[in-house]
Amino acid sequence: MAIRTVRLGSSGLVHAPGVFEWAKNGWFHKKDQPRILAILEAWDVKLTREQWDRVLTSKVPSKVDGETVVFEIEEDTVSA
């Protein structure tokens, strides 16, 4: 299986590490998950809901590199 590195970058309006931590904290509230996904999908990194679940529950480790959140995900499950 190939591994793909995903980078969630910041902009002038969005601080990626802050939004990512907010999403991780809120992910455990099932009723909020659709809204959280809608916000995360703005990054257009083409992850499935299952992949986001693994990242947001820390089953896939992530790290902050400056203003960017970085993690690696199995490529064969990336949505097209």
Number of domains in the chain: 1
pTM, two decimal places: 0.86
What would the two tokens of residue 24 be? 């991780």
62-65/68-74 β-pairing: antiparallel
Q: What residues contact residue 76 under an 8 Å CB cut-off, 6+ apart?
A: 1, 2
Distance (Å, rounded) from C-alpha 80 to C-alpha 78?
Answer: 6
Over the stretch 12-23, which tens digit does the pLDDT of each residue have? Answer: 999 999 999 999
How far from the centroid of its chain's Cα atoms is residue 13's Cα?
Answer: 18
Over the stretch 24-75, which tens digit does the pLDDT of each residue have? Answer: 999 999 999 999 999 999 999 999 999 999 999 999 999 999 999 999 999 7
Domain containing 29 equals 3-77
Distance (Å, rounded) from C-alpha 77 to C-alpha 26?
Answer: 24
